[in-house]
Structures are given as structure tokens and as C-alpha cells.
Structure 1
Amino acid sequence: MEIVTKRFLLRDFIELDRSPFLDYQADSRSQIFYEPSQASGENLTRLFEKFCTWACEHPQLNYQLPIVQRRES
């Protein structure tokens, strides 16, 4: 799935998103939304892998989309 706007692209997670996802989740400003046990690296890795699994399911019943800034042409 893709949703395209002038500035952003919303699409399914791909493997290249792993590092940015984990970096963002490791930021203390994002961890205020999680219980300490949920913010562990192991749990966040499983969460990322779940999002990738959802993206490959047919039919796709669950969606979690990263927001990617589109590059200037």
C-alpha cells in the first residue's frame, strides 16, 4: 500500500526501515508512550518484524505505515 502526498510517502515497512525505526524508538522522547518493558530493544525488534510480516500478508488485514519524506526533484 502507498499513499503519496506532495511532501510525504506512506507505505508498508521494508527492511531498510529497520535502523531508522529502532533509532526513533530508542529516543527518550518516543519512549514516554511505552511502558519500560515495551521499550526494550528486543521488543521493538519484534514489533518491527511484525509490521514487515503484516505487509507481506495476502489479504493484508493489518497496516502500520512509516511516513517517509519525499525527496525534492
Structure 2
Amino acid sequence: MRLHTERLILRDFQREDTATVLAYQSKAAYLEHYERPPPTEEEARAFVDMLCRWAEEEPRSKYQLAITLDGGRVIGTCGVRKAAPGDTVAEYGCELDPACWRHGYALEASRKLLTWSFDTLGLQKLFALTRPQNLSAIRLAEALGFHRVEDGRYELTCP
């Protein structure tokens, strides 16, 4: 699967993406938003393997795509994940390499994915979960049209 924006390509993960994911998920700025130590190489491999398996499922219910820049370099991921293929509600999530923060990439990638999700998957509602201290994630959710329904939970209804 591939989606294109002006500056980015969103595509299914490949197992070769593991080293890049491990590198950005190990950065101190990234880890500020998670209550865990940096991932091991084995944990990063398991994460990317899971995303690759999701892309191979039939019927598919989870679309967690690599955000790529500069000839295919992975700079993060964004996705929508339904609990079951026929669901009309899904969870949205996005993460970026801290080196790519504040360039509008998360907003650009997310807008493309959300539009595609509502138009193609028949979704009626998305929800996003974040820590109340993650102000950047909250600002992104709000810029995408999500509304706070409780601490750490935001929802977006099909436009």
C-alpha cells in the first residue's frame, strides 16, 4: 500500500526498516513520551515484524504505515487500527523521529491517511490516545480536528 503527499510517501513497512526505527525510537526526545527504556534490537525487530504481518492480513484491519522522506528513508509511522475488519471505529496514532519534528510532516502524513481512511475504509469515527503531558501530540490531534473527550482521549467523527 502507498499513499503520496507533496513531500512524503506513506507505505507498508518492510523488515529492512528495523534499524531506522530502532535509531529514532532510542533517542532521548522520543523516549520522553514513553515510560520505558530504549528498545532493544530484538524489540524493534518484533515491532516492525508485527507491522509487516498486519499488512499481510486478509482481510486487513490495521494500516500502520511508514512515513518516508528522501528517497525512502523512514522518519516515522502513522496509522489507523480497527479491532476487526468490519468495524467503523479505529484508533489513530502517529510517531516521528525527533530530528523531523516541527516540519509539518506528522500533520501532512496524518491528513492524507485520515482522508483515505474515511473515504476508503468506511470509518465513522477515530480516536487517539495520548499522555496529557504530550503537548505536541495533543496539538497534532487538535489540528486534525480531533476533540478532547477525556484526559488523554481525543475523537474525530467522519466529516
- TM (norm. structure 1) is 0.78
Structure 1's 43 and 20: CA in aligned 2 closer, same or farther, altered over 3 A? same
Which residue of structure 2 aligns with residue 31 of structure 1?
A: 31
Q: Deviation per CA, 1:48-73, whole angstroms, max 9, x where unpaired?
A: 221111011111111211110154xx
Which residue of structure 2 aligns with residue 13 of structure 1?
A: 13
Which residue of structure 2 aligns with residue 65 of structure 1?
A: 65
Structure with bigger RCO (C-alpha 8 Å, 6+ apart): 1
Give unpaired runs (5+ residues) of structure 1.
Answer: none
- The answer on 1:48 being equivalent to 2:48 is yes
Shift of 1:46: 2.1
Give unpaired runs (5+ residues) of structure 2.
Answer: 72-159
Q: Which moved more, 1:3-12 or 1:62-71?
A: 62-71
Q: Deviation per CA, 1:27-56, whole angstroms, max 9, x where unpaired?
A: 11111121216x432433322221111011
Max Rg structure:
2
Question: Counterparts of 2:53 and 2:34 in 1: how far apart (Å)?
Answer: 22
Number of aligned residue pairs: give it: 70
Question: Counterparts of 1:31 and 1:57 in 2: how far apart (Å)?
Answer: 30
State the SS of the aligned residue for 1:66: strand
Coordinate RMSD, CA, aligned = 1.7
Q: Which has the higher helix share?
A: 1
Which residue of structure 2 aligns with residue 4 of structure 1?
A: 4
Over the matched positions of the two proteins, sequence identity in percent amounts to 33
Shift of 1:23: 0.6
